[in-house]
Amino acid sequence: MNIPNLIKNDSGLAPYASVIAERIKKIILKEKDLCGDNYLENVANGHLYYGLHKYPDCWFFREKAPFAKAIYFVGDFSGWKTSEKYRMNRINQWDWELKIPAHVLKHGDLYKLIIKWDGGEGERIPAYCRRVVQDTDTKIFSAQVWEPPTKYQWKHTHIKTPDYPLIYEAHTGMSSEEEKVATFDEFRKNVLPRIADAGYNMIQLMAIQEHPYYGSFGYQVSSFFAPSSRFGNPDQLKQLIDEAHGLNIGVIMDIVHSHSVSNEQEGLSRFDGTTDLYFYQGEKGFHSLWNSRCFDYGKNTVLAFLLSNCKYWLEEFRFDGFRFDGVTSMMYYDHGLGRNFTDYSCYFDGTQDDNAIVYLALANKLLHKLNPDVVTIAEDVSGMPGLAAPHADGGIGFDYRMAMGVADFWIKTIVEKPDEMWNTGDIYYELCRKRKDEKTISYAESHDQAMVGDKTIIFRLVDSEMYYSMNVFCENLVIDRGIALHKIIRLASIATAGNGYLNFMGNEFGHPEWIDFPREGNKWSYKYSRRQWSLRDDTNLRYRFLAEFDKAMIALARQENFFQYEPFALSINNEAQVLIFKRGDTVFFFNFNPNESFTDYAIEIDRGYYKIILNSDSPAFNGFDRIDDSYPYPTHVYRKQHLLKVYIPSRTAFVMKKIE
């Protein structure tokens, strides 16, 4: 048996070689079974066949509903009544078709399906529908004909995706300061320039696929091919992406293939009267925690549907990549709930859904065939080995995995340990703990830590003092501590990041409070589902200092390109709470000590002169100006060692670079 590089690179996987080999075999066999004599990219063309399509002299509508007894196409054109004239024709065991005269439908018309089955019937939104809108009064969703007189004209070509993504995670709807749902146009005009100014090279857009409940954060998808109409229309989404490309910023879509909303009228559940057209039969087809439906990844029809969905968003909207949500939930029959993944046996004990793993491998293969520069990121908390390893090495093929443990570590440290007990050895180990054969995206906090019921880093650090003491005229030790640690934590996270970094919208300037979408429990208020940009812009408040530090930090990452080097520890001093390491010519200094500063702190380093290029203690970042940034620091020889001696103030981080 040929031993894949996945095992060669990690001898701990050797006992599971047969399981890994079987997975590789399943991926190969499923692609052959799915494609036959065809190609994977051609199997993913369902969106070009199913749904509503305009031809010069007519419309064609096709739908997959094998257990339906009759399907009627209804809408504005029929007075929402069923008519034999618009009864669909079964063309094979699976598919139905209807030819509609060109004059019957026009751009903007609303329509649905009435599907009848043995023992019942129901209104349904077509599975491949590209445009869904909600009536403002009745709150009912309907499909909408989207065939504007002129197609959107792209102004910019695809960008070359960055080698090291610096991702700005964003939600369109909550991006306005006003208490409302913001639009694609408002995001493009008001937020996109902020992202460009902050220096991020990629945006991760959340909640793109249509979802009935706004408060689900976009994770309860009903119409997989339809951009959420609450933010605008498809052309407005295209313009947002197009203008981002014009700024040389890539756009990643947060894609949800881990489950589907359980709603029947809006979603795919019981689409043709059966519960398992798209989903597993019985209890396996329901996610108990999320109250949603679980796809049956073993069915070729489901694979074709999801692969078509990947291709559609990539080609129709020119997304540069995808962050696959809920990958852990997909890969384990118990969805990973309540499990501690403590050793390798947890990944190969038979509780894994190999159908889902095969799908993820095929999705990655398809996307990289269609666009070799595409970026794919897996959101996985389990640590499945090989998830972000290439297919050729025996992996599943994601480009990156989210380093989700970093954010958990910071929260645990802040909550459970007083400042005096922060252990620099533990910090360095946890931040650098990654698989060597996989690329990762690190973050100090994402949207998860900002949700109601949790707390952002800044809110955990300063709590209620944020309401009273964030102005520049107020001296407050709690705020001073919070601002100092907020900067240090973020710099430590990006400085140790494997291959990229992520930040959620507004967290860079310490956005106050939590995210709480409108719901019955808060009287459907939008007060906490917005971003208060004015706080960042107000020169009388300290938020701007955090924003400026984040901007300088991102600029440093881009200029020095330190991701290409592995961190190398120069000093891990648990007693002093000092951590120093280098990446290439860039040297990072951290003093987590809340009380003690250190004069002439010496480290062995390459001979030369070093200059500070980023300093969290700078007045520009609301620091105390205890270090001379302009001074070139020379090394000194001591017992044949080249030593660099520096002053490291308490609760400070700074970065130096060798200049000669």
Catalytic site positions: 325, 379
Spatial distance between the Cα atoms of 550 and 543, rounded to a whole number of angstroms = 11
The Cα 411–Cα 425 span in angstroms is 17
CA pair distance 352, 145, nearest whole angstrom: 41
Q: How much helix, strand and coil, in percent to the nearest 5, is found in the chain?
A: 35, 25, 40
**In degrees rounded to 5, what are phi and psi of residue 307?**
-65, -40
Helix, strand, or coil here: 121?
Answer: strand
Residue 441 is encoded by which pair of tokens?
């995206």
Are residues 295 and 279 in contact, defined by beta-carbon separation less than 8 angstroms?
Answer: yes
- Please, are residues 459 and 415 in contact by the beta-carbon 8 Å criterion? no
Alpha carbons 251 and 373: distance in angstroms, whole number? 12
- In the chain, the amino acid numbered 386 is G
Place of tokens 């360095």: 428
SS (H, E, C) 65-88: CCCCCEEEEEEHHHCCCCCHHHEC
Q: Angle 17-35/300-316 helices, nearest 10 degrees?
A: 80
Structure tokens at 384: 């499945």
* Cα angle 383-385-387, degrees, rounded to a multiple of 5: 85
Tokens matching residue 631:
């001074």
Q: How many CA atoms lie within 13 A of 625 on its CB side?
A: 3
Give CA separation, 455 vs 442, 446, 467, 512, in Å. 19, 11, 15, 9
Q: Is the dihedral of CA 358, 361, 367, 371 positive or negative?
A: negative
Q: How far apart are CA 242 and CA 249, in angstroms?
A: 9
Q: Transcribe 241-283 into DSSP letters.
A: HHHHHHTT-EEEEEE--S-EE--SSSSSTTTTS-S-SSB-SGG
Q: What is the CA radius of gyration of the chain?
A: 27
Name the phi and psi angles at 544, rounded to 5: -60, -30
Other Cβ atoms within 10 Å of 659 Cβ, number: 12
Helix ranges (H only) for 137-223 are 184-186, 192-198
Helix and strand numbers, DSSP H then E, in the chain: 16, 30
